[in-house]
Amino acid sequence: MILNFEIENTGEISKLLISKGIKDFNTACDYIMNLSYKRISNTSKIELVIIEERGTCSTKHSVLATLALENNHPEIEIIMGIFLMNSETHPILKDFFKDKHYKFIPEAHCYLRFKGERYDFTSSENRMNEISQKIVREQRIDPHQIGEWKIAIHKDYLKKWLNRQVNLDINLEQLWDDREKCIKIIEKQSK
């Protein structure tokens, strides 16, 4: 189980969660996990996860990692992993991949790590068991790196992956567009 601690009113995220009656980290994790899976209106303002009551893996885990930092627990890290997203990791994508020349898309996913264990609070439908078997790269990031930096690293990985796929007739923009379609399918499922 991930570390639990009392939330002290030390920063913006802490204050917002306390204002909602949330007093400890485990309760905050449950609260964040049960918010809708949908992008917030401005990913550079992670407090919007709490205000708009929604978020993605990146913004939700950035909130939790920031909460941990505000309360002096840097040992709870935010991790960006790249995994091979397909119909095994997300069964709702079965029809999407049915007529594609490829059977997966390398996707970036954020989650927390504590004492070597991975914790995913993206949704109550925890897909970490399926995703962890498909992770091909991991790195610790800072909570503020979930925006442009994460996208740049993800696109760089996709570009290198496409260069190794000699029989795949698709460019980076087309692959990114297909990835966005997958995200929209997943968003619709969580409503």
**pLDDT given at position 191:** 53
Sign of the dihedral defined by the CA atoms of residues 182, 122, 107, 142, in that order: positive
Other C-beta atoms within 10 Å of 180: how many? Answer: 10
pLDDT score of 127 more than 80: no
Q: In the chain, what percentage of residues exceed pLDDT 70?
A: 99
pLDDT at residue 187 is higher than 90: no
**Phi and psi (nearest 5°) for 154?**
-60, -50
Q: The tokens of 82 are what?
A: 């790249």
pLDDT value of residue 10: 82
pLDDT digits (tens, 9 = 90+) for 60-102: 999 999 999 999 999 999 999 999 999 999 999 999 999 898 9
* Run of H or E residues at 70: helix 57-70
Domain that holds residue 4: 1-191
**How many domains in the chain?**
1
- Helix axis angle, 57-70 to 12-19, nearest 10°: 100
- Whole-number mean pLDDT of the chain? 93
Contact predicate 122/130, CB 8 Å: no
Position 190 scores a pLDDT of 67
pTM, two decimals, is 0.90
